[in-house]
Structure 1
Amino acid sequence: MSMTLIAVGASAEAAPSTKNTNVASAEATTSSLKRMINIRSTGTKCGKTVIAEASGRGRMTLRIDETRSTGSVLSKNIELSKGAISAGVGWDVTKSRSITVSGSKEVPPGKYGTLKAYVKYTGKKFDVEEFRHGIPDDWVTIRKNKTAYRPIGVCFKYSER
């Protein structure tokens, strides 16, 4: 097991965990010590916002060729710094990444086609615990199923009428 301890603010001491073995980062703030646990892959998913689009009446080829810069997407109310999240998920959640959007689709004669591009993401899901001395087990889960996604490419969706 590998554990990264990241301290920010007031000094605090990390307590050993007895119940969770997948602990990636801990952070001391002025009021408490927090850590990410149960870090697991979410697989891939397509974003919901169109980043490029081409449309037209066939017979023709729709083509999209451009480069976009896009950043990580984080859940709300995680209660950890971006540095601690970056250490836990394994990539810098503060940096944007350049992706190339390139694709084409043939529209049949007499049809109207639309080709849309979306950012493709891969991600990690995790829980956040807070250290509270004096209670059973000392670590209390304060946030469940939080997510961090990073861009890895492009998804295309084609429709015609």
Structure 2
Amino acid sequence: MGLLGVTTSAQAAPSTEQANAASVKSAKIGGGFKRLTNVHSIGTSCGKKVIASASGPGKMTLRIDDNRSVSSTLSKHIDASKGVISAGVGWDVTKSHSITVSGAKDVPRGKYGTLNAYTKYAGKKFDVQVLDLNTWVTVQKGKKANKPIGVCFKYTQR
């Protein structure tokens, strides 16, 4: 007696070694779930790029009054999404932050002064881990994220 409407096919099941090799390969290619660990504050630092400047001969007062929108900065080549980084450090690394740039410096008579403003950042350092075969593996160490929090000034005169 035959069965109507039923199709069967036989296929050899992969060996255990083949199945394990395939799952390891896909975990490495796909990257798996990621998280940040060892997240800690590294204090504040001043940026290297001048965001506002005033200069002139004395006797005068140099003044800077401005508002700026400044982005967070990240280490290069972080192997985690910006969503994972944001969740790990505690702020949205994709959004710009508004900072007020306001400062003044008196230039003495007979001198020429320059007042430069730089972004002040609060930083966090962290490691990146990936879930590989139910084990968290550290894939990057010592990455950084910096959030703009204010301004640093540097005054020079000649």
Q: TM-score range by the shorter chain?
A: 0.7 to 0.9
User: TM (normalized to structure 2)?
Assistant: 0.79
In structure 1, runs of 5+ residues without a counterpart are 1-28
Q: Is the 8 A contact 2:31 2:130 kept in 1?
A: no
Structure 1 residue 154 corresponds to structure 2 residue 151: yes
1:4 — aligned with what? none
Counterpart check, 1:114 vs 2:139: no
Indicate the RMSD between aligned Cα atoms, in angstroms.
Answer: 1.4
Q: Which residue of 1 aligns with 2:85?
A: 85
Q: Which has the larger radius of gyration?
A: 2
1:9 paired residue number: none
> What is the match of residue 138 of structure 2?
141
RCO comparison, higher one (Cα < 8 Å, 6+): 2
How far apart are the structure 2 equivalents of 1:30 and 1:63?
53
Q: List per-residue Cα deviations over 1:94-119 (Å, max 9, x = no partner).
A: 11111110000000010110000000
Give the alignment of 1:1-161 within 5 angstroms.
Answer: 30-133=30-133, 138-161=135-158
CA deviation digits over 1:31-54, x for unaligned, max 9? 422211000001000000000000
- Aligned-partner Cα distance in 1 for 2:68–2:32: 39
Q: Percent of counterpart pairs with the same letter?
A: 65
Count residues with an aligned counterpart: 130
Instruction: Using structure 1 for the length normalisation, give the TM-score.
Output: 0.77
1:60 deviates by 0.5
Give secondary structure in 2 for the equivalent of 1:85: helix
State the match for 1:11 in structure 2: none
Structure whose residues are more often helix by fraction: 2
**Distance in 1 between residues matched to 2:99 and 2:30, nearest whole Å:** 39
Range moving further from structure 2, 90-99 or 31-40: 31-40
